[in-house]
Amino acid sequence: MRAWLLAIALVVLALVFGMTKSAVQKIRVAVIKPAGDVGIALEQCPGVVAFHESPAAFPEGDALRAALAELLGLYRNPLFQGMNFVRPIEDGALDFEKVRVTDGVANVYLVGDRLWAGNYCEDRYLEAQFYFTVTQFPGVNGVKVYVNGDLMGEGKSGWRYFTDRYNE
């Protein structure tokens, strides 16, 4: 009888604290691989979007935040040292501040002194990494990226998803 009551108590605690299997999610982080590798082709740029799956699982409420934190620290990860990936996010260039999802759009707030690597394709790679990383989550259909409070890119759908800052 005691074991049965203990089992019920543990199930209730798991439900209350969101520790059920359905409440845990693996995350994928978008990375840019050189042309010729398997991935989502990027128009007018030679790289492709591929995905790195995190070895850890996160509670659903923390998974989006964890994915963004992993994205920003991806190239400091020893697993990626010496690998042939395009690296548009420089070490320490950006820090994650917060994310808020409103009407299906993830508003990602970053702080730092450098966002864009400089050339057209490197900018697109960075934008693609944010877009494909955040839209893996249910209810997130787009992204807006802010750096130091300024809107830097706005997600739409597919590859033509960011405001074209180059024609402004």
pLDDT (tens digit, 9 = 90+) per residue, 133-147?
Answer: 888 888 898 888 888
Report yes or no on 13 lying in a domain: no
Out of 50-54, 94-98, 108-112, least confident range: 50-54
Eight-state DSSP code of residue 16? H
Report yes or no on 14 lying in a domain: no
Report yes or no on 121 lying in a domain: yes
Report yes or no on 129 lying in a domain: yes
Tokens 């409070």 belong to 149
Distances (CA, A) of 30 to 17, 90, 118, 146: 29, 15, 20, 18
Which pLDDT does position 160 carry in this prediction? 37
Mean pLDDT of 113-119: 59
- The SS3 assignment for 147 reads strand
What is the domain range of residue 95?
Answer: 21-162
| Average of per-residue pLDDT values in the chain | 70
Mean pLDDT of 57-75: 77
Give the highest mean pLDDT range of 19-23, 91-95, 108-112.
Answer: 108-112
Report yes or no on 7 lying in a domain: no
Which pLDDT does position 91 carry in this prediction? 63
Report yes or no on 82 lying in a domain: yes
Mean pLDDT of 49-78: 75
Report yes or no on 9 lying in a domain: no
Burial of 2 (0-12, 13-18, 19+ CB in 10 A): exposed
pLDDT at 22 over 70: no
Mean pLDDT of 21-46: 72
**Count of domains forming the chain:** 1
* Contact between residue 133 and residue 67 where contact means Cβ atoms under 8 Å apart: yes
Report yes or no on 5 lying in a domain: no
Which pLDDT does position 11 carry in this prediction? 47
* Helical spans, DSSP H, in 54-119: 60-73
Which pLDDT does position 162 carry in this prediction? 39
Which pLDDT does position 103 carry in this prediction? 93
